[in-house]
Structure 1
Amino acid sequence: MDKKNKHQIEEVDRLKVLSESLGEDVDLHAVAVATNLYRAAQSLRIVMERDVLSAHKLSWTAFSLLYDVWVWGQRETKELAVSSGVTTATISTITNTLERKGLCKRSADPRDRRRVSISLTEKGEQVIKELYPKFHQGEKKLVHSMEVSEQERLAEQLRYMIQNINNV
């Protein structure tokens, strides 16, 4: 038995022991999905921040904000918060940092000054265009051993999971 399979069996056995000690029935399949989804996301984030984003001193969330604005155009802070899974206060803090770097700018809605939109500056567009090809290499590395049909199915399943979480 290889080391990977041995670890999986040990993990399942340990979870069974823990669930029995809690006196509850633990859905090991749900645990495996959630745990591995978290690990994959964290691994991707760590590698991308270290290998790609650090050159511009950007966090994952800052890059996500720049990426969303690049793809979708000017966005309201509320939309960016939902897209990134953070609060509007976090978006405001990140926007402050990105504005200081000259990568984005804010504009208030003249009819309702509480509605603030973020857009890229020329420099911000230049940075995202420089970063994205490198970032995309990491995305491809993440799924390189999967067939296209498997990638499509996984993407569909992940969208379904996001809907499940948002509907709770």
Structure 2
Amino acid sequence: MINILTKLPINSINLDAIAVVTNIYRIAQGLRNQMEREVLSEYGLSWTAFSLLYDLWIGNAVETKKLAESAGVSKATISNITKTLEQKEYCYRKVDNRDRRITYVTITDKGRGIMEDLYPRFHKGETEIVSSLTVDEQKNISTLLRKVIKQNQF
């Protein structure tokens, strides 16, 4: 890989930056794939549907625009996922009475029940993924990632 990169017309290659970003990407993809396969598939949820349902579980009623920002997807994607979750009776949409352009999504009792059943299993998976790290290492990585998130306004 280094041989290929050093041939590119770039003044200086920052291999450390490449390693950090590549590893973040690999961890994110691996986490997503593993959780979808081992936990979420049993509930018929994709990663994004779970993220949306999680935000609703924590926030109860959330504006579609905020759901899209939180999940890093378009409002159209949120609309499609919300339709699917509505069919499963996990949430419902409601237009704001004061501003008809704003739509809120609210978790239902059934959706809350699913999250109360699902989340302990999801959290067990999170814990297992970082089990090779000490608590201090987990805190250090978390602090450093928050710094990158804040700097880039992710």
TM bracket, shorter-chain basis: over 0.9
Amino acid at match of 2:151: N
- Find the residue that maps to 1:114 and give its secondary structure: coil
Larger radius of gyration: 1
2:9 equivalent in structure 1: 23
Q: Which amino acid aligns with 1:28?
A: L
Q: CA deviation at 1:73?
A: 2.1
**1:67-95 CA distance string (max 9 Å, x none):** 01111221101111111111111111110
Which aligned pairs between 1:112-151 and structure 2 lie closer than 5 A? 112-151=99-138
Q: TM-score scaled to structure 1, two decimals?
A: 0.87
| SS of residue matched to 1:22 | coil
TM-score (norm 2): 0.94
Q: Distance in 1 between matches of 2:46 and 2:76?
A: 16
Q: 2:67 aligns with which of 80, 90, 106?
A: 80
User: What fraction of aligned residue pairs are identical, expressed as a percent?
Assistant: 48
In 2: Cα distance, 1:119 partner to 1:52 partner: 23
Q: Give the distance between the partners of 1:150 and 1:77, measured in 2 at CA.
A: 35
- What are structure 1's unaligned runs of at least 5 residues? 1-13
Distance 1:33 1:164 in 2: 15
Could you tell me how far apart the structure 2 residues matched to 1:103 and 1:139 are? 23
Matches of 2:51 and 2:34 in 1, distance apart?
Answer: 15
CA distance in 2, matches of 1:85, 1:161: 16
Provide the aligned C-alpha RMSD in A.
1.2
Unaligned 5+ runs, structure 2: none
Letter in 2 for 1:110: N
Aligned amino acid, residue 150 of structure 2: Q
Q: Secondary structure at the match of 2:6?
A: helix
Which secondary structure state, in structure 1, belongs to the residue aligned with residue 55 of structure 2? helix
Q: Number of residue pairs matched?
A: 153
1:42-61 alignment to 2 at 5 Å?
A: 42-61=29-48
Matched residue SS, 2:150: helix
